[in-house]
Amino acid sequence: MPPRERHVAVLGAGIEGVASAIELLRTGHRVTLLDPAKPGGEQAASYGNAGWLSPMSIIPPSTPGIWRQVPGYLRDPLGPLAIQWRYLPKALPWLSRYLLSGWTEARVRRIAQALRPLLLDSPSLHARLAAEAGVPELIEHRGVMHVFASRAHFEAQSLAWRIRRDCGVVWTELEGAALREVEPDLGPAAGFGVLLPEGGRCLSPGQYVAALAAYAQRQGARLLRQAAVDFRLEGSRLRGVILADGNLLDCDAAVICCGARSAPLAAKAGDTVPLETERGYHVMLRGTQFGPVHSMMLASANAVVNPMRDGLRIAGQVEIAGLDAPPNWKRAEILHDHLRRAFPGLPDPFPPDRVSVWMGHRPATPDGMPCLGRASGSEDIIHAFGHGHVGLVAGARTGRVVAQLSSGQPPEIPLEPFSAARFR
């Protein structure tokens, strides 16, 4: 068993990084957080997150038959999943793995069964962290809603809901007047809803991550505004992390949680991971109290609507275009249109000075599961990246698992499905 008090460098101060830092401190480690940018700042995927704490988000993005929709994705640059033509040659190997990962029901079931323990009880785990950090009001546990045009549209997704049920997810179905009673502001385009009581929400993901980073520092973590670029290894033992300015940070262990920019460091730790950025957008209407009671997934838009601390946010879309392409703000306009249709009582036009838009980078593996566990090249390096659409919801338990691995304790969930070696 390794010594309890080791110096651990946590590479990245998003939700996975700050949660890991807090849990590592809790188990007696010395911690340095490395991130060139401000924790919870607008550059981070955590900042623009939908705030959707959904332990039932266990179905991977790729499901059987999705390959039939790929030609449409290529033709429609503004669809819910779009692929930029000029980026297609680079993305093609990842897309091939993506399609294969959900080719059969059996493969989808394996992924769902692996993700379920990682996401289970996430609102409660986040509520504990938020309370410790002094921001308990940022986490609510009141259930989440999936909304469909009709029962028939819900039943068209029967495979996903059957797998959720088999994994222990429970829900209440609401139709017509019963749905309007629960969600009075919802427009007539929605006719059927599924209320999932185990879900929750974060009322300001950026503020939440910033508060957790500040709490970690109060508990003794050091924050360095630096990027890690390499490791100093002696055989398989880690001796330090090489920083972007050329200096060496001496440490005994490291955690890779740099989001969509994690793959180069993972390769230096012995694992080649097909990591892509699924670019996502959000629209924020500040100052309005109109909208859903619950966090809500609009099935027609594949987007989440969430009442936030300072207004109403709709977030979603998947755009495969790489890290460097400029944002396509027409995608944000589409989200705004979906919001108007779902909640026609919103002011239209909404005051422009109270509307903001954002684009960020989800770190996505082809199978929709993170890399979580020890690196192949060194037992002193831990992977904690690639969470894709479940980054916020999985963050609290990811931090616990990182601390358990670093302390030589058995992890609380099975980690074999999340091994980076699965991509060899």
pLDDT in tens, 93-127: 999 999 999 999 999 999 999 999 999 999 999 99
CATH number for the domain including 251? 3.50.50.60
Please work out, in degrees rounded to the nearest 5, the angle formed at the alpha carbon of residue 260 by the alpha carbons of 228 and 255. Answer: 45
Q: What is the mean pLDDT of residues 158-186?
A: 97
Q: What is the pLDDT of residue 3?
A: 45
Q: What is the mean pLDDT of residues 395-413?
A: 97
Residue 290 lies in a domain: yes
Residue 249 lies in a domain: yes
Residue 43 lies in a domain: yes
Residue 77 lies in a domain: no
Residue 365 lies in a domain: yes
For a pLDDT cut of 70, what percent of the chain falls above it?
99
Rounded Cα distance, 229 and 173, in Å: 50
Say yes or no to pLDDT of 205 above 80.
yes
Q: What is the pLDDT of residue 2?
A: 44
Domain count, the chain: 1
Average pLDDT score over the chain: 95
Residue 99 lies in a domain: no
Over the stretch 118-143, which tens digit does the pLDDT of each residue have?
A: 999 999 999 999 999 999 999 999 99
The predicted model scores a pTM of: 0.96
Model confidence at 77, pLDDT cuts 50, 70, 90, reads confident
Q: What is the mean pLDDT of residues 134-153?
A: 97
Residue 16 lies in a domain: yes
Say yes or no to pLDDT of 256 above 90.
yes
State which residues form the domain around 117: 7-64+109-423
Q: What is the pLDDT of residue 403?
A: 98
Over the stretch 344-399, which tens digit does the pLDDT of each residue have?
A: 999 999 999 999 999 999 999 999 999 999 999 999 999 999 999 999 999 999 99
Say yes or no to pLDDT of 90 above 90.
yes
